Amino acid sequence: MGLADGRLTPVLRGHRKDTPQITEAIHSVHAECLHRSRVGMNTKERMIHQFVREKFGMQAEKEIPHFTALLKVWKERFGPEGARQRYLRSSAAVETGGCTVTITRPGQVVVLDTTPFPVKLRDDVFGEPITVDLALTLALDAFTHSLVAFRLTPGSGSSIEVAMLLRDVMLPPPMRPGWTPDMEWHYPGVPSALVAEFAGHPVAGRPFFAPETVTSDHGSVYKNRHLVQVARTLGAVVLPARAMRPQGKAACERTFLGIQSLLLELLLGYRDVDVADRGIDPEGDAVWTVDEAEHLLAEWIVRIWQNRRLGQYAPAWDPGGRHSSNTLFAMAAARDGIALQIPDPDLYHYLLPAHFVKLHGRRGVKIGGLWYGGDHPVLGELGSLPSPRSGRHRGKWVVQRDPRDCRQVFIELASQWHALPWNRLPVGEEVLAFSDARVQQVLREAARAGLTPAAASNSSLPCSTWPVPATRSVPGRVR
């Protein structure tokens, strides 16, 4: 055995060579311990002595090394084994009957992960520090280590944000205001003018492609029916990493640390994840807004991260070369070409959560406690006709809704999408978007105030001006 530069690897020192009898005993006890509950190394040593004594006799038992040497041999063969017992069994099953996936092209494996955003930001409207923690969701290409998409969202994230993140992976990133020409598309094989013609705008220097396999952890936002449907629509395979095994997406975990040390720790308002490591007043130090932080991350990824030299992630065929995410993608483009597969704009509607509902005449459809499309001409032509759909949702129509904007829903009829507005939406006025969380909050307050759907439907006032009986009012609460 030797290294690439000609040096020889020395033989491991520290203990004597094991006999075939001891090696057989160690492997037999390891298989037995995987079947049993978790035991300590002292118990494993007694089991090894018992196995050798019963099978090979008392003379072979004298050849068993000391406990310290035996512990060193065990760690060399099976590792420290510090995980839970059921995870050790699953890991051993994968190592025994599994196979290693060799990544050879961009888009073959895209790793998704979410982490709390460790910088305190301010609101874009009032400039006040945001009390809700923000989540940073990344999409990392496992071959080139390119950050092909990211999302900065309040809370712990949602499936709709992950769906739009996968859509961003397929879309060519536009050039933003203030970006210099060196950040424009510059990969060989496809001129920037041709890519801009297909996309309809100048394209930044960041790879885009259709993901083949999506790897994520076992979070709720990655294991729900909506994301399964999104992956089926995109033609991608969802491959969850092994539970409690960060090695399955170690590159993404390292990327979070790299972003933190190279960028986030330099920003005012950095507060870290652990409360004990925070400064005196991170809220007072915050100067960046959400839009400014999002713009800064996008610029830093295109300008710095894509051109940063890869150290330990350099390709195996050139370990001493100077490679970055852009050079690896350029190499793959020169070898295999670039597929300019820009998705259709209607892909946005197909990735939204689907609701199977019935038509109710002039009232339209009811989704999430609100009525939509009561006076829409398309629903007026259909009336209360059932859908030709059969099976589980027989007679129901498919309506797509964006949980982040409940002002309207979308229905596809005759290969054309129609927007159905909320029945209480004021005509001719611009209303700010509201999410389904605000809808549920308002409906709970309306029910607490004694309002019923029948009274609300007979009222000619919008939802924000519904009267509240004085006997059921709640001081200091939103009505």
Q: Could you write out the three-class secondary structure of 260-329?
A: HHHCHHHCCCECCCCHHHCCCCHHHHCCCEHHHHHHHHHHHHHHCHHHCECCCCCCCCCCCCCCEHHHHH
What pLDDT does 243 receive? 64
What pLDDT does 210 receive? 92
Q: Are residues 117 and 205 in the same domain?
A: yes
Q: Is residue 366 part of a domain?
A: yes
Beta carbons of 128 and 122 less than 8 angstroms apart: yes
Query: Structurally, how many domains does the chain consist of?
Result: 3
CB neighbour list of residue 132: distance below 8 Å, 6 or more residues apart: 154, 155
Which domain-ending residue is among 336, 360, 393? Answer: 336
What range does the domain containing 421 cover? Answer: 347-472
- Closest CA relative to residue 137, chosen from 173, 111, 119: 111
Backbone angles phi, psi at 391, to 5 degrees: 90, -145
What pLDDT does 318 receive? 76
Q: Are residues 264 and 306 in the same domain?
A: yes
Q: Are residues 395 and 452 in the same domain?
A: yes
The radius of gyration of the chain from alpha carbons, rounded to an integer in Å, stands at 29
Amino acid at 211: P
> If residue 92 lies in a helix (H) or strand (E), which one and from where to where?
helix 85-97
Q: Are residues 60 and 125 in the same domain?
A: no
What pLDDT does 7 receive? 67
Say whether 148 sits in a helix, a strand or coil. Answer: strand
Q: Is residue 103 part of a domain?
A: no
Q: Are residues 316 and 358 in the same domain?
A: no
Which domain-ending residue is among 274, 301, 336? Answer: 336
Q: Is residue 383 part of a domain?
A: yes
For the chain (length 479 residues), average pLDDT per consecutive 10?
A: 62 67 92 90 93 92 89 86 78 60 86 91 85 88 93 85 94 93 89 90 93 88 89 90 67 88 91 80 88 94 92 74 89 86 90 92 89 87 84 91 93 91 85 89 89 52 40 34
CATH number of the domain at 242, please. 3.30.420.10
Q: Are residues 363 and 306 in the same domain?
A: no
What pLDDT does 96 receive? 52
CB neighbour list of residue 396: distance below 8 Å, 6 or more residues apart: 356, 357, 358, 386, 387, 389
Q: Are residues 244 and 131 in the same domain?
A: yes
Q: Are residues 228 and 326 in the same domain?
A: yes
Q: Is residue 178 part of a domain?
A: yes
Which domain-ending residue is among 41, 74, 97? Answer: 97
What pLDDT does 281 receive? 86
Q: Is residue 8 part of a domain?
A: no
Q: Is residue 117 part of a domain?
A: yes
DSSP string, 203-253: BBSS-----SEEE--S-GGGSSHHHHHHHHHHT-EE-PPPTT-GGGGHHHH
Q: Are residues 252 and 352 in the same domain?
A: no
Q: Give the angle 334-188-163 at the CA atoms, nearest 5°.
A: 85
Q: Is residue 185 part of a domain?
A: yes
How far is the C-alpha of 268 from the C-alpha of 148, rounded, in Å?
26
Q: Is residue 423 part of a domain?
A: yes
How far is the C-alpha of 288 from the C-alpha of 214, rounded, in Å?
32
Q: Are residues 152 and 290 in the same domain?
A: yes
Q: Are residues 152 and 176 in the same domain?
A: yes
Beta carbons of 420 and 411 less than 8 angstroms apart: yes
> If residue 448 lies in a helix (H) or strand (E), which one and from where to where?
helix 436-448
Long-range CB pairs of 9-15 (<8 Å, 24+ gap) are 12/76, 14/69, 14/72, 15/65, 15/69, 15/72, 15/73
Backbone angles phi, psi at 345, to 5 degrees: -60, -25
What pLDDT does 164 receive? 94
135, 262, 263 from 297: Cα distances, Å = 13, 11, 9
Q: Are residues 68 and 149 in the same domain?
A: no
